[in-house]
Amino acid sequence: MSEPRGIPKAAGGAAESAYACRAMTDDDFCAALTATISSSAPELHAFRRDLHAHPELSRQETRTTKRIIERLSGAGLAVRPFPGTGLVVDIGPEQASYRVALRADIDALPVRERTGLDFASTNPGVCHACGHDVHTAALLGAVLALATHEDELRERGIAVRAIFQAAEEIIPGGAHDAIAHRAMEGVDSVFALHCDPSLDVGQVGLREGPLTAACDHVRVLLHGRGGHTSRPQLTEDLIFALGKVVTDVPAALGRRLDPRAGAALVWGTVQAGKASNVIPSSGECSGTLRMLDANAWLSVGPLLEEIVQAVVAPYGVEAKLERVKGVPPVVNQVDAVEALRLATRAAGMQAAPTMQSLGGEDFSWYLAHAPGAMARLGTRTPGRPTYDLHQGDLVVDEDAVLGGARLLALSAVVTRVKASA
């Protein structure tokens, strides 16, 4: 038997004794993975805290990538870095009868942390307000545990590919980069998880079908001649027209689309002018268009253009609409959700129903290449406040790191997901 990789011998006897049983039953294998992950709790918590204290924005995750590579290489694993940031690592037989991909995103957000934690962000104006530090540490724990029991994977003909993906928080996101560099080549199924502060730690939110929404970046640029604020009738009142775009375009879009499409056009920036007595010659607003219905998302472009032009027409300004198509909805495949349900049970966690959200996730692009599913990982300490994602006060119960690691590792081995007919 080859020397087990992953958790070092010093991590404790539980992993070694479990590994020593060569011909494990499936239940024994799951129990061994769970024990190995539990024994690595101090390391995984410390790793997550280190990432949390040193968050990095999308496509700038240099230190994060280096830390992951150092740990995986130290465990004897052959890491394949992506150009720039992010990486992939394979475990199990090269010629596998079944290959499972597990994905975690590694980037942070341009948000100021307000948690007051001892390991709060040391990067001003940047923090892990979406839980990607938890995702990364959980996948690291799953990889190290699976590597420790790699002989069991080989006996079952299962290979596991871990994708540590950069730049999930921007459009276009890092999923395109990972896929372009063969991350999904030969993959039969793919799984991921995302922190959910509305669920208690130990709970796993599962849903068949659509889980997230489509999401695009929308930008409207207006141009006019500009002029004096005392004579708006002699020019184009660009500020007034921009205000109408901000208020009337979302309203009109909501009346022209089927309400069941679940469309939400919300602006994040409005910019125009520098002097109070000058009508500017240019201005713009930008935001996100999110839709629950994938078919409506695919066809909304011409309608949005029509509405923008109709809204600005009375004011004589020129309008240019820029729409960057971002991500389609994440649609969880039925068999993949069942695999996550089995993994949840094997991990000693509790499955909970969850709703489709208007959040966007570029995990959807992986699902265009293989069936799979995303789970929602509970991060709320029971009885404590409910936080929200993308806010600087987000606090995560650290037991979620081990729960996430168990869920990912077990999802790779509990069943073989097959594409629906």
Q: DSSP string covering 27-62, please?
A: HHHHHHHHHHHHHTHHHHHHHHHHHHHS---TT--H
Q: Say which CATH number the domain at 314 has.
A: 3.30.70.360
pLDDT in tens, the chain (421 residues): 344 454 333 333 333 333 333 358 889 999 999 999 999 999 999 999 999 999 999 999 999 999 999 999 999 999 999 999 999 999 999 999 999 999 999 999 999 999 999 999 999 999 999 999 999 999 999 999 999 999 999 999 999 999 999 999 999 999 999 999 999 999 999 999 999 999 999 999 999 999 999 999 999 999 999 999 999 999 999 999 999 999 999 999 999 999 999 999 999 999 999 999 999 999 999 999 999 999 999 999 999 999 999 999 999 999 999 999 999 999 999 999 999 999 999 999 999 999 999 999 999 999 999 999 999 999 999 999 999 999 999 999 999 999 999 999 999 999 665 544 3
Last residue of a domain, one of 327, 359, 376: 327
Q: Which residue numbers belong to the known binding site for Mn(2+)?
A: 130, 132, 169, 194, 390
Q: Which residue numbers belong to the known binding site?
A: 130, 132, 169, 194, 390
Q: Do 107 and 202 fall into the same domain? A: yes
User: In terms of Cα–Cα distance, which of 294, 340, 79 is closest to 189?
Assistant: 340
Question: Distance between CA atoms of 178 and 86, rounded to whole angstroms?
Answer: 8
Domain assignment present for 130:
yes
Q: Say which CATH number the domain at 69 has.
A: 3.40.630.10
Q: Do 282 and 349 fall into the same domain? A: no
Each residue's pLDDT tens digit, 378-390: 999 999 999 999 9
Each residue's pLDDT tens digit, 200-219: 999 999 999 999 999 999 99
- In the chain, the number of structural domains is 2
Helix (H) or strand (E) holding 303: helix 301-312
- Residue indicated by tokens 């969880």: 332
**pLDDT at site 420:** 41
Q: Among the residues of 257-300, which ranges form H helices? A: 294-299
Q: Do 393 and 290 fall into the same domain? A: no
Q: Which domain holds residue 286?
A: 214-327
Q: Do 81 and 139 fall into the same domain? A: yes
Last residue of a domain, one of 327, 352, 370: 327
Q: Do 370 and 405 fall into the same domain? A: yes
